[in-house]
Amino acid sequence: MLLVIRPNGGISNITAVNTILPVAYIWEDETGKVISNTLTLQNSKAGKYRLRMKDASTCDTVNTAFFEIINNGAIQLDTTLLQVRNTGCTKINGSISGMGITGATNWQWINTATNAVVSTQQQAINLPVGTYRLEAFNSTYGCSIKSKDYTISIAPPIPITVTTSNWKDATCNNDNGSITLGQFNNNTNLFQFTWLKDSVQNIGSSFNLNGLSPATYFFTATDTNGCARLIFKRALVMIPLPVLNETNVVVIGDTCDFKTGAIKGINASSSSGVINYEWFTGNNTSIGKNKDLFKTGPGTYHLVITDVNGCTLRSVDYTVPDIVTSLPAPKYTDLTIPRHAAATLKVLNFLQGARYELLDVSTGAIAQTNQTGIFNLSAVHEDKEFAIKAYAGPCSTATGTVKDKSARYNSTRYS
């Protein structure tokens, strides 16, 4: 607390009578401290005083009652509740408040650097950076008082940081990057947030950004004082696509529909790691998930590779040709078949995947068909001639014959 006291009070017009000179005068305050040795008390501060007087006679010392000098126009400044608030970074909102003022008729806050009056209220608001003091006056008694100087500075930014975050780079030549800010270490309601792309383009304030292209993203927080600071930064890149190299591809045709076709030699790589392979037919039916395609029939095929980011590349179409050739004629062991007896013909040079036919030469009708090359002949009661032929896809063998005689028959060796 600051109190203005001017020692200009006095007590006068006291008259001493019936005294024998010399006379001694002593003024003392309530504590007994001697203040003056004159009959009239002058230039004294507010308080209670009494006069003690002793002349040359044998009489005792005479004491007056206590007289009070009142402190008229006293001004008091109470700083118990004083608060000094710094100004903002962009907002001019500094203030000095809570100053208690008693005994003053008027007052003013001034900027000490310019002596400009910034407020005539008990508090000063919207103050910029500077030093200020209060001057209070009592116009009735001509009293005044000055406070100590108070300095307004720029308030530091309210602290806040991002404590958890996730992000994903862009992939597959698409703008599909993302950033998610999870938690903060302060109340987000105290701030306004802004995302800047490459520190220039304002792209919003959401804590979740999607559909991002490769760039550097800055996240700023502006507090209630208008102080802005960068609290998060992340650069997103475009993950390269996988690479498909078809320079050394080899296509092998399918012979006679035996599934000997193949496509091999396509190479793929990815900076992201593992690659998955999948082969498709011309109508997009999946037929294999290996790097090379083997054991396939004639047709059109293409390869699709997929990296760990889900990015895909498609090869060109490759056609596995259908190779047509003559198949080796079926060979059978010579047989003797008694009339009305059963017999079995069994191919010696069996072709896996081929289809065999036994035909009645006299009628041209197909007597039996199978894929084993084994034919069971029932009891033959007359001479017969049979033809045997093998087929595989578009390929076929030359036709051989078997004759049945009444006594016996010899099977024909086909070559």
Under the phi-then-psi rule, with left for phi > 0, alpha for psi from -120 to 50, and beta for the rest, what region is 32? left
Q: What pLDDT score does 387 carry?
A: 81
- Burial class of 351 by CB neighbour count within 10 A (0 to 12, 13 to 18, 19+): buried
Which SS3 state, helix, strand or coil, does residue 60 take? coil
- The pLDDT tens digits of the residues spanning 244-258 come to 999 999 999 999 999
Is the pLDDT higher at 300 or at 352? 300
Average pLDDT over residues 155-167: 95
Q: From CA 109, how far away is CA 115, in angstroms rounded? A: 9
In a domain, 363, yes or no: yes
- The pLDDT tens digits of the residues spanning 204-222 come to 999 999 999 999 999 999 9
Indicate the pLDDT class of residue 340, thresholds 50, 70 and 90. confident
- Can you tell me which residue has the tokens 């029932």? 378
In a domain, 275, yes or no: yes
Query: Mean pLDDT across the chain, nearest whole number?
Result: 89
pLDDT at 369 over 70: yes
- Residue 265 CB contacts under 8 Å (≥ 6 apart), including other chains: 248, 249, 250, 292
pLDDT at 10 over 90: no
- CATH number, domain of 276, equals 2.60.40.10
CA dist list (Å): 170 to 40, 179, 271, 274 = 97, 11, 14, 18
Same domain flag for 209 and 293: no
Q: What pLDDT score does 4 carry?
A: 45
Domain that holds residue 54: 2-69
Same domain flag for 133 and 86: yes
What are φ and ψ of residue 5, in 5° steps?
A: -130, 120
Q: What pLDDT score does 382 carry?
A: 67
Domain boundary among 101, 125, 152: 152
Same domain flag for 63 and 104: no
Q: From CA 101, how far away is CA 96, in angstroms rounded? A: 14
Least confident of 173-187, 262-276, 351-365: 351-365
Q: What pLDDT score does 210 carry?
A: 98
Q: What pLDDT score does 377 carry?
A: 81
The total of structural domains in the chain comes to: 5
In a domain, 157, yes or no: no
pLDDT at 3 over 90: no
Share of the chain above pLDDT 90, in %: 64
Q: From CA 211, how far away is CA 157, in angstroms rounded? A: 31
Same domain flag for 345 and 406: yes
Q: What pLDDT score does 410 carry?
A: 41
pLDDT at 401 over 70: no
pLDDT at 274 over 60: yes
